[in-house]
Chains A and B, each alone.
Chain A
Amino acid sequence: MTNGADVRALRLVDVSIGLPGRVLIDALSVDVEPGRIVTVMGPSGSGKSALLSWIGGFLGAPFEARGELFLGARRLDGVPAHARRVGILFQDDLLFPHLSVAGNLLFGLPRAIAGRRERSAAVERALDEAGLAGFGARDPATLSGGQRARVALLRTLLAQPQALLLDEPFGKLDAALRADFRRFVFEFARRAGLPTVLVTHDAADAEATEGPVIALS
């Protein structure tokens, strides 16, 4: 817990989210340290997805939201979604169907990595590491569910986010795959030191995070 680590923490300060006439989340303050995973649980309609959307910068009408969001020293609320450097994984893999696997991965790769060869090499390396060597030219629709989930995760991580949001990303996977993939994701998050927020209604997911759980009513 050095100062450098605090610079990359995700902090929610006094966040309230509601619909006209209904309060969903009231004055919530949370600190998510880098590499730690905070779980948000609650019944449907309790506002957990709304919270994720707010952090990501996607919350719009009819929701109303108040509060402050910090990523390290940067204040994020008010910054447009694409500038926040916050990655998000959904329940569906949402791979772009018109691009190949490599195309999807290249899509999120930061501009800083320049030159076709460098960029392709980076994508290849990532695929190798994930056990998907040679899948670059494939059509995403021909991959299995588990493979697509892994590519989605790779895509998110290749964009070098500074925080990670997980919106029930294991929901569509069958039991066997679920545990593996979950371990995969949490390993990456911890190793990369990303503050992560997980939304789920599965208690097993919450346990595996070994992190704090926030229960919404």
Chain B
Amino acid sequence: MRNPRTTRFGVARGSNALRALASSLLFLMTTGATAAPETRSWDAITAAARGQTVYWNAWAGDERTNAFIAWVGDEVKKRHGVTVQQVNLKDTAEAVTRVVSEKTAGRDRDGSVDLIWINGPNFWALKDKGLLHGPFTQAMPNYRLVDVTNKRSNVVDFTVPVDGLESPWRLAQVVYVYDSARHRPEGLPRSINALLEWSRANPGRLTHPTVRNFLGATFLKQALYELAPTPDVLQSPATEATFAATTAPLWAWYDKLRPTLWGAGKEFPESGPAQRQLLNDGEIDMLIAFNPSEAATAIANKLLPPTARVFGMANGTIGNTSFVAIPYNAAHKEGAMVVANFLLDPVAQARQQDPTVLGNATVLDLAKLSEAERALFAPRAGVVGLPRPGELGRVLLEPHASWMTRITAEWEKRYSR
């Protein structure tokens, strides 16, 4: 009955299973980072890339993402003569395993994997073993457009520094969706404590998915950021001591919040879509989502009322970035870098932001773009529900994965009847 899945944003689930895998392979591995920074000029790289076929290993569970990858392939073919071949994965860990096996077999060149859509623990697994090509992002001209100040998740991947070994391409950021027909923007809560007040004033109109679901856990993680006495501790693994002290305010807040939730906090929707159904039916007025274009996409598909809008917290919300990385033994490193660079092109970033295409947030800093380029990001006519540029606030970094596991267990212990 196991169907290994990744979340929509490429985070491989089952980090425990992956750690087991990684540690069991440890004894097969020769350690030693093979740092080989990319020093060639961009012209040399594009010249070498012409005619190559890049095998891009990507999770294939979403039709629209697959369509986008196909579009990228067409564009890159036109501009640079590089062909993209998507290799369908059910789980990013499959590609990781492939690279590791090739290393074990001594295949240090002409590897079968050229480019991997990756982040989080999978990235850490490859970086730790020195199985990545790079640092290479400094060689890409479009990399200078990336926002590394307000979107810190572009340089720190689930507490692991990127160090130029992977290139960002799409961003997920927590937003709250509400029905603007029932609530005015001025009355919206902009902090976690304000959220509690809002829920008290509107009992039964707020909920979150069950904390076993990634989105539900994120609801609590987001609250933890604002309520924790020292948020920086979230970047390190949780220990018995730090966990109790750090989460105490969270549980105090949640104990007050819970009776005001939908269904008196006894029952929770099983997933994001189930939660969205409640908003569509009018049973709740506000929900948490991991995609800034959630409202726009849903409105276009008639899954939410046309008055749905998004907003963020004043101090920023959690976000994580999806990257592409190049294995150390890739056969077509140059082509891979060309693809990675194109993903950062404003044309590509604007296209993926379109809710009818992918509806992801951009990793670029719009301030660094020219007027013409910035215009690409203006919403197309007829698209409602997108956040205005800059409306969402900073991107807060994802806490260390151990916090989520402990929060989930603690929540179940406290709140299962």
Q: Does a CB–CB distance below 8 Å link A and B in the complex? A: no
Q: Which residues of B contact A (CB under 8 A)?
A: none
Q: Which residues of A contact B (CB under 8 A)?
A: none
